[in-house]
Amino acid sequence: MLLGKKGMKVEAPIFIRIFKEESELEIWKLRDDGHFYHFKTYPICTWSGDLGPKVAEGDRQAPEGFYTIHKNQMNPNSNFHLAFNIGYPNAYDRSLGRTGRFLMVHGKCKSAGCYAMTDALIEEIYALAREAFSAGHPSFEVHAYPFRMTDANMARHKDSKWYDFWKTMKEGYDYFELTKQTPTILVCGRHYFVNARPRQNITTGDLDPAAACPPLERMAAVPFVPPGTNQVADTHVVARGPKMRSVASVSRGTDRSTPKSKDSITGLIDGMMAVGAKNSSSTFTFTSPNN
């Protein structure tokens, strides 16, 4: 069994990353050393819309952002085989007045605002999430990106209207790439802050996503060096499956794989590297929201 060969426990927490342009969904598993290790990459059969976040109900966009999945978002009785709700709109989305609901990762390989897998692959993904919940873990995170946020890809998309938003998303991508740990995500001033915390004695739950931010400090990011003692654990495993969206078609803005229905609700009613370079804490005050 792959989990055992990679030194992973079936009940260990999971972390999911989604990459639209590449049509890939990654699952990472937490090991005893407190770091996430790559378990498997799954092809996304199809997703709808173009690169960029979901803004309004009816835009047929699949969400981008930092999301948290709780047990009540899992749907074993979905009309689309199996599904979990991605959690859109989250606090950040709501602070910007964004609308929409029932945005899922599901099976059946068809999408109207969601990320659709084949039935066989969603069964495996769903089972990994279910076992983590059964072990008592309260949630797992999904980071949904427009593409793998390398410097080269960012340069390729520098003229996009979403570039400033993607710069913040890249901070989350870079932090995980450096540390193999998920960053703390704060929302205030209608803005994401990656690996940050209030400098004053304020709990993150007391922050108003739409209100001005208090002084924040960014925490140290410690680079992770894999032990290199388990070659299987470090092996990048990719599942087989179809991808109906290609990088070329996404770049051209064609082949949107989006039906004409108003939004995903018609089909699914059932259902920052901000601190890595210096590697030290710093204090800052947010002054104006940027997207």
Give me the residue spans of the domains in the chain: 2-284
In one letter, which amino acid is 233?
A: A
Q: Token pair of 206, please?
A: 């007391």
Would you say residue 211 has pLDDT above 60? yes
Output the pLDDT for position 112: 87
> Where is pLDDT greater, at 119 or 284?
119
Contact 209, 94 (CB under 8 A): yes
Output the pLDDT for position 223: 96
> Where is pLDDT greater, at 278 or 120?
120
Output the pLDDT for position 174: 98
Dihedral sign, CA of 136, 184, 188, 16?
negative
Contact 78, 103 (CB under 8 A): no
Would you say residue 281 has pLDDT above 60? no
How many other β-carbons are positioned within 10 Å of the β-carbon of residue 18? Answer: 24
Beta-carbon contacts of 235 under 8 Å, excluding residues fewer than 6 positions away, are 6
Q: Which of 151, 199, 177 is nearest to 186 (CA)?
A: 199
Tens-place pLDDT, residues 25-81: 999 999 999 999 999 999 999 999 999 999 999 999 999 999 999 999 999 999 999
Q: What is the mean pLDDT of residues 144-168?
A: 98
Please say whether the structural domain 2-284 has been given the CATH code 2.40.440.10: yes
Output the pLDDT for position 290: 39
Would you say residue 255 has pLDDT above 70? no
> Which residues are marked as active site?
106, 114
Confidence tier at 258 by pLDDT (50, 70, 90): very low
Q: What are phi and psi of 129, to 5 degrees?
A: -65, -45
Q: Token pair of 195, please?
A: 């690996």
Output the pLDDT for position 285: 45
Confidence tier at 283 by pLDDT (50, 70, 90): very low
Pairing outcome for strands 74-75 and 282-284: unpaired
Confidence tier at 230 by pLDDT (50, 70, 90): low
Respond yes or no on whether the N-terminal peptide bond of residue 43 is cis (omega within 30° of 0).
no
Confidence tier at 1 by pLDDT (50, 70, 90): confident
State whether residue 134 is helix, strand or coil: helix
Output the pLDDT for position 228: 72
Q: Which of 131, 106, 107 is nearest to 1 (CA)?
A: 131
Q: Token pair of 274, please?
A: 């901000």
Contact 23, 44 (CB under 8 A): yes
Q: What is the mean pLDDT of residues 223-245?
A: 84
Would you say residue 263 has pLDDT above 80? no
Output the pLDDT for position 273: 31
Q: What is the mean pLDDT of residues 93-121?
A: 96
CA dihedral 268, 91, 191, 287 (to 10 degrees): 160
Output the pLDDT for position 274: 33
Compute the distance between CA of residue 168 and CA of residue 185 in angstroms, rounded to an integer. Answer: 11
Q: What is the mean pLDDT of residues 141-155?
A: 98
